[in-house]
Amino acid sequence: MLFPGFCLAFILLAKVILGKWQHTNLLSLLFPIIGSFALIRFVLYVVRRTFAKDGTIGKVLALFEKVFVALVVFGVTLYFTGLWQELSSALDDIVLPLGRNKISILEILQALASVVVTLIVAMWASAALEARLMLLPSMHISLKVVLSRLGRGVLILAAVLASLTMVGIDLTVLSVFGGALGVGLGLGLQKITSSYISGFIILLDRSVSIGDMISVDKFNGEITDIKTRYTVLKGLDGGESIIPNEMLVSNPVQNYSLTDRSIVMTTDLTVSYHTDLEALLPLLIETVASVNRVSVDNGPSANLIRFGPDGLELRVGFWIADPENGRSNVLSDVNRALWKTLQAHQIELPYPQRVVTMNDAVSKTEIPIGKSVQC
């Protein structure tokens, strides 16, 4: 936008300086042309900053840009041909009845243009405010989101009220609409209103934040975004769940990273009664500690849980600091490392065995399960 902006500045400066000695009609012709270029670039910049933050331009946005450029070129053409005033007069003469009042087509178009312009400027300002807030290192992410959402709402509301005032609509008529909206919220929009209010509560009390690993109801995963009405939860399988904010307020939520992201995991195994536990337990701890992603600060542990019917039941516990990268994969790595260690030291993992005793009047025979018996 700098090139057409500087051109407009130099044209105005040249008209002021050269106008003392000669006519500047040519410069007057250049002013609307360069001004239209500046308007097109400015509007496209604002629209893309507002609706295409990631740089991807969709089909609707591309169509809007083409239509806007065509309208600007059409307006400049009407201006140079002298048909602009005639078109304005013709549109002003076409009057539509609206209840007891009458409104012209020109007034309708002016109202639509003012509403669209003010809304786009408000959304652009809110996007710029959000970008500035996200760059603040000392502010919590939840507070940044709250301020950006509040700023967006206030700016859009101010834009709507300003556009209605510019059109000439009396704002007192909105009191009827506000009463009807209150009745509607009281009757049928309790869930939606509750989700919106819950969204601000979540962001303000910081019970959950973007990047936290949580589990609520039957959903679990990492919070990737917190909207005003819902929260996006990305599971470990890659699927994304849209959870209403009301569920995060009214239901119990297990937050794995509220104060500490580390979580404990366990795996159980049974060894033979002939195993030397004093030598085995340190060996299991050393094996688990060598697995990647196992926390070094909170070292693993190995304990004898109970004397089971098939052998000594052991439980190996360990901590991980990155549950968002998956838990089943690190558990598999730990089990494979334990299996290699047990095989290398020829430690027996007994399988369940049972003995069936058949009693009759003649003899008693003990028959192990798994062997064929002829009766």
- For every residue of 234-255, DSSP letters joined together read E-TTS-EEEEEHHHHHHS-EEE
- 6 shares its domain with 122: yes
Sign (positive or negative) of CA dihedral 338, 339, 340, 341: positive
The token pair at 116 is 């669209």
- Asked if residue 349 belongs to a domain, the reply is no
Residue 215: count of CB within 10 angstroms of its CB = 14
- Asked if residue 362 belongs to a domain, the reply is no
- 210 shares its domain with 273: no
| H helix runs in 168-189, sequence order | 174-187
- 9 shares its domain with 123: yes
- 19 shares its domain with 86: yes
- 314 shares its domain with 241: no
Number of separate domains in the chain: 3
- 336 shares its domain with 278: yes
Domain end among 82, 107, 132: 132
Domain end among 84, 110, 132: 132
Interatomic CA distance for residues 126 and 123, integer angstroms: 5
Domain that holds residue 304: 263-344
- 239 shares its domain with 285: no
Sign (positive or negative) of CA dihedral 35, 41, 45, 47: positive
- Asked if residue 46 belongs to a domain, the reply is yes
* Residue in this structure with the two tokens 């039941």, named with its chain if needed: 313
Angle at Cα 113 formed by Cα 2 and Cα 107, nearest 5°?
Answer: 140
- 245 shares its domain with 267: no
pLDDT, one tens digit for every residue, the chain (375 residues): 788 878 888 888 888 888 778 877 777 778 788 888 888 888 888 888 777 766 677 788 888 888 888 888 888 888 888 787 888 888 878 877 766 667 778 877 877 888 878 888 888 888 888 888 878 777 777 677 777 777 888 888 888 778 777 766 665 655 655 666 666 656 556 777 778 788 878 877 778 888 888 888 888 888 888 887 888 988 877 888 888 888 888 888 888 777 777 888 999 999 999 889 999 999 999 999 999 989 888 889 999 999 988 899 999 999 998 877 888 889 999 999 999 999 999 998 888 877 788 876 545 555 555 544 444
Residue 224's domain is classified under what CATH number?
2.30.30.60
- Asked if residue 306 belongs to a domain, the reply is yes
Domain end among 117, 132, 147: 132
Residue 325's domain is classified under what CATH number?
3.30.70.100
Interatomic CA distance for residues 39 and 46, integer angstroms: 11
Closest CA to 127 of 204, 53, 77, 54: 53
pLDDT of residue 57: 77
- For every residue of 282-309, DSSP letters joined together read HHHHHHHHTSTTB-SSS--EEEEEEE-S
pTM of the model: 0.48
- Asked if residue 141 belongs to a domain, the reply is no
- Asked if residue 158 belongs to a domain, the reply is no
Contact 310, 270 (CB under 8 A): yes
Spatial CB neighbours of 275, under 8 Å, sequence gap ≥ 6? 311, 312, 347, 348
Q: What is the helix, strand, coil percentage profile of the chain, to 5?
A: 55, 20, 25
- Asked if residue 89 belongs to a domain, the reply is yes
246 burial type by CB count under 10 A (0-12 exposed, 13-18 middle, 19+ buried): buried
Closest CA to 87 of 114, 103, 106, 70: 106
Interatomic CA distance for residues 76 and 346, integer angstroms: 90
- For every residue of 322-360, DSSP letters joined together read -GGG-SHHHHHHHHHHHHHHHHHTT---PPP--EEEEE-
pLDDT of residue 180: 60
User: Torsions phi, psi of 261, nearest 5?
Assistant: -80, -10
